[in-house]
Structure 1
Amino acid sequence: MTAPNLDHGADLYGLLAFYAEAGVDEALSDEPIDRFAEARQAVNAAPIAAAQASEATAPTRAAPAPAARSAPPPMPAQPSASVPDEAQAALARQLAAQASTLDELRQAMAGFDGCNLKFTAKNLVFADGNPNAALMLVGEAPGRDEDLEGLPFVGRSGQLLDRMLKAIGLDRSSAYIANVIPWRPPGNRTPTPHETEICRPFIERQIELVNPKVLINLGGPSAKTLLNTTEGILRLRGNWRVHMTASGTAIPAMPTLHPAYLLRTPAHKRLAWRDFVEAKIKLRSLA
């Protein structure tokens, strides 16, 4: 019997699309399970099992002695990846705490060599907008366009963010925009937890110096890092949280969906719209 010719890529895409529409944003186990691989193994195992069954009923024959084999040469040791150590994280905390203005913080970050992302990025992406604004928005990390221009949210995601701000009567002159990670990860990969922890003191100090009345966390990584939670963004969004600064100031924070996610899933723009309206109402109440 010939196994059916399944288009595994199309099946996987459809499954992921269904999960996204259903609001699934977290795995139920620590390790991913390849269900397609299990199906392929079951199909491939059938003829092997049949062959083993036929061999069991055939007359036994003396097996020839195996030829002597020489031991394989030892594999060369793989060099360990170079990652910043805890000393660099401590230095980042020290430099961030010593910065008394945003200009000093930017200079400290520009001179900091403890994060390996700095050496593959073209520019430090510090911030954009009005540092005196009542609203601050924080994303995850710069992309290609942001790395080239040295400003956050200037690509397609940034254009959508501008439209979202305009919908509640704001723009970049009345908001302040930054990222948790100020340097672009190579190939736009996800920053590692270690890289995030290295950069965390800088964004936390940046928020403290700006001291906005309302904070919007754009996407899950920003929300998880700055709100100290492990919940997925689809559970977090739409619910007010609190970001505590090192000086003890409580800033109302609204987690919402990242513009890049909304470009891939336009149906969820309505959810982000609700979150931005909530932020607008909060700003009015705190004026």
Structure 2
Amino acid sequence: MTADPTYRGFALDAETALALLQWQAELGADEPCMDAAIDRYDLPDRAETPAAAPAAAPAPRRDEAEDHAARAEALAAGASTLAALAEAQEAFDAIEIRKGARNFCFADGKAGARVMVIGEAPGEEEDLQGRPFVGRAGQLLDRMFAAIGLARDTVDAERGLYITNVLPWRPPGNRRPEPAEIAAMLPFLRRHVELAQPEMLVLMGNTPCIAALNRQGILKLRGQWSEAFGLPTLPMTHPAYLLRTPLAKREAWGDLLSIAARLEAGPKP
């Protein structure tokens, strides 16, 4: 719909003109025009008037992205302990969201635990505390795994739980991590798994499935054992989804029982 700001025969002051424009916008007008409407089918071809075409935004430099990836790989590979990996990842400055986050959220729980949970990214509460999964979704996660005898605060690695995220910084407005951000953090995540040495991985939601399995569609993937980083891996729906969709807790309980059964059976020789 178009809006015509001219009214023949009337002398408009600034306040009246502004009020009329606001009124037309409320009615749905989204484009101003002059006295006569423009026939857009009769406009010259853009190819004939290249000077009038807006300049295209510069494409990201591929060599720069490759440099960042190579640096991330080198930093991750050079870390021989979890503490060294955390220091290297926190210092990696090629990801913009770190500038807006309050805290770096590396991991929580028992290092060396048999089960390692990988989530998406910190939320508001996690960003404040500098620990993953401590908000409402994290509290539900704790209750879920407590039901099968696992906890992040235990000293017993057999019954421990180790928790991290694909991204250690909170994305603006809790938006989903972008593919470039996931790719930038992947070398650190891979090394994180190697140093933590769990027996199995639990991928909470779509983002960790994209990072670890290069697949998405958590409602189809959940409950199906796969392999990531050389380990048995089970995708599960994120606790935040379960808070919004309580009926899905029944399926999540089945996934937890599957984890418990695999732990009971022990690692395959």
Tell me the TM-score normalized by structure 1.
0.69
> Per-residue deviation at 1:183?
0.6
Unaligned runs of 5+ in 2: 1-38, 40-50, 154-159
> Per-residue deviation at 1:194?
0.5
> Per-residue deviation at 1:81?
9.2
> Per-residue deviation at 1:154?
0.5
Task: Tell me the residue number matched to 1:167.
Answer: 147
What is the one-letter code of the residue matched to 1:234?
A: L
Structure 2: distance between partners of 1:210 and 1:201:
14
Unaligned runs of 5+ in 1: 1-65, 67-72, 245-249
- After TM superposition, what 4+ stretches of structure 1 lie above 2 angstroms from structure 2? 73-86
Q: After superposition, where does 1:87-102 map in structure 2 within 5 Å?
A: 87-102=67-82
> Per-residue deviation at 1:223?
1.6
Deviations 1:34-59 (A, max 9, x none): xxxxxxxxxxxxxxxxxxxxxxxxxx
Q: 2:65 aligns with which of 85, 89, 94?
A: 85
Structure 1 contact 125–142 (Cα < 8 Å) conserved: yes
Q: After superposition, where does 1:195-274 map in structure 2 within 5 Å?
A: 195-230=181-216, 232-244=217-229, 250-274=230-254
Task: Tell me the residue number matched to 2:120.
Answer: 140
Task: Tell me the residue number matched to 2:109.
Answer: 129
Task: Tell me the residue number matched to 2:164.
Answer: 178
Q: Percent identity?
A: 48
Q: Does structure 1 residue 114 correspond to structure 2 residue 94?
A: yes
Structure 1 contact 125–146 (Cα < 8 Å) conserved: yes
Structure 2: distance between partners of 1:275 and 1:208:
24
Q: After superposition, where does 1:53-72 map in structure 2 within 5 Å?
A: none
> Per-residue deviation at 1:85?
2.2
SS at match of 2:170: coil
Structure 2: distance between partners of 1:167 and 1:78:
55
What is the one-letter code of the residue matched to 1:240?
A: W
Structure 1: distance between partners of 2:133 and 2:100:
19
> Per-residue deviation at 1:90?
1.5
Structure 1: distance between partners of 2:60 and 2:246:
39
Structure 2 contact 101–127 (Cα < 8 Å) conserved: yes
Structure 2: distance between partners of 1:190 and 1:239:
23
Structure 1: distance between partners of 2:173 and 2:104:
16
Deviations 1:128-171 (A, max 9, x none): 00002111000011111101100000101001101101111111
SS at match of 1:85: helix
Structure 2 contact 177–207 (Cα < 8 Å) conserved: no
Tell me the TM-score normalized by structure 2.
0.73
Structure 2: distance between partners of 1:238 and 1:115:
32
Structure 2 contact 117–162 (Cα < 8 Å) conserved: yes
Structure 2: distance between partners of 1:270 and 1:98:
43
Shift in alpha-carbon separation, 1:80–1:187, aligned structure 2, 3 A: farther
Task: Tell me the residue number matched to 1:285.
Answer: 265
What's the Cα RMSD here? 2.3
